[in-house]
Amino acid sequence: MAEIAQTRTPLLPSIPALERTPFHPRLAELNLANAWEPWRGFVTASLFYDVEDEYFAVRTGASLYDVSPMLKYRIAGPEAEAVVDRLVTRRIDRLKPGRVAYAPWCDGRGRVVEEGTIFRLSETEFRINCAEPQLTWFEDAAWGFDATVADVSQEIAGLALQGPTSKQVLQDVGLDAAAALPFFGIGDFATADGVSVTVSRTGFTGDLGYEIWVAPDRALELWDALMRRSEARYLRPIGSRALERTRIEAGHILINVEFVSARRAIRESQTRTPAALGLDWAVDLSKDHFTGKRALLAEREAGGPRKRLVGLDVTGRKPAHGAYLYRKGKEVGQVTSACWSPIAKRNIALATVDASAAGEGTVLDAEIYYRKEITQGKTDAAATVVPPRFYQPAHRRG
Partner 1 sequence: MSGAAPFDALVVGGGHNGLVAAALLARAGRRTLLLEASDRLGGMATLAQDCGRLSPTVVRELGLERCGLRLSARAPRTHLLLGPDRRVTIDPDDVAATRAALAALSPRDADAWPGFQQRMARLAAGLAPFLEQTPPRLSFSDWRARWPLLKLAFAVRRMGRADMRDLLRILPMNVADLAEEVFETDALQGLVAFDAVLGDRLGARSPNSVFTLMLRYAGGAPGRPGTPLCVEGGASALIAALETAARGFGAEIRTEAPVARILVEDGAAAGVALEDGTELRAPLVLSSAHPGATLLNLVGPRWLDGDFVRAVRLARGRGVTARLDLTLDGPPPGLVDAAGDRFVHAPSIAMVERAFDAMKYGGVPQDPPFALRLAARDGALTASALVHGAPHDLRGADWAEEGPRLAARIVERLETHWPGFKARVTEARLTDPAQVAARFGAPGGHWHHLELGLDQAFLLRPVPGWAQYATPIDGLFLCGAGAHPGGWITGQPGLNGARAALAAASAGRARAGAGGV
Nearer to partner 1, 143 or 281 (CB): 143
Single out the segment in contact with partner 1 by CB under 8 A; choices: 172-180, 288-296, 314-322, 330-338.
288-296
Q: Does 291 bind partner 1 (CB under 8 A)?
A: yes
Q: Tell me the closest approach of the beta carbon of residue 290 to partner 1, in angstroms.
A: 8
Q: Does 380 bind partner 1 (CB under 8 A)?
A: no
Query: What 3-state class would DSSP assign to 277?
Result: helix
d(CA 111, CA 305): 11
Task: Report how many residues bind partner 1 under the rule CB under 8 A.
Answer: 17
Q: Pick the binder of partner 1 from 45, 57, 84, 87 (CB under 8 A).
A: 87
Q: Tell me the closest approach of the beta carbon of residue 103 to partner 1, in angstroms.
A: 15
Q: Pick the binder of partner 1 from 146, 268, 288, 380 (CB under 8 A).
A: 288
Q: Pick the binder of partner 1 from 86, 99, 252, 308 (CB under 8 A).
A: 86
Q: What is the DSSP letter of 216?
A: G
Q: Pick the binder of partner 1 from 25, 78, 108, 359 (CB under 8 A).
A: 108
Question: Which among 350, 348, 356 has a CA at the least distance from the CA of 335?
Answer: 350
Q: Does 274 bind partner 1 (CB under 8 A)?
A: no
d(CA 123, CA 34): 44
d(CA 85, CA 362): 37
How many Cα neighbours within 13 Å face the side chain of 54?
Answer: 25
- Own/partner pairs for 135-140, CB < 8 Å, 24+ apart? 135/73, 137/105, 137/113, 137/263, 138/73, 138/75, 138/83, 138/87
Single out the segment in contact with partner 1 by CB under 8 A; choices: 176-184, 209-217, 244-252, 285-293.
285-293
Single out the segment in contact with partner 1 by CB under 8 A; choices: 12-20, 43-51, 80-88, 375-383.
80-88
Nearer to partner 1, 140 or 193 (CB): 140
Q: Tell me the closest approach of the beta carbon of residue 295 to partner 1, in angstroms.
A: 8
Return the ∠ at Cα 293 (arms to 290 and 297), rounded to 5°.
160
Sign, Cα dihedral of 159, 160, 164, 168: positive
Single out the segment in contact with partner 1 by CB under 8 A; choices: 137-145, 174-182, 271-279, 358-366.
137-145
Q: Pick the binder of partner 1 from 141, 156, 161, 197 (CB under 8 A).
A: 141
Region for residue 188 given its phi and psi (left: phi exceeds 0; alpha: psi -120 to 50; beta: otherwise):
beta
Interface residues toward partner 1, by CB under 8 A: 82, 86-87, 107-108, 137, 140-141, 143-145, 288-289, 291-294
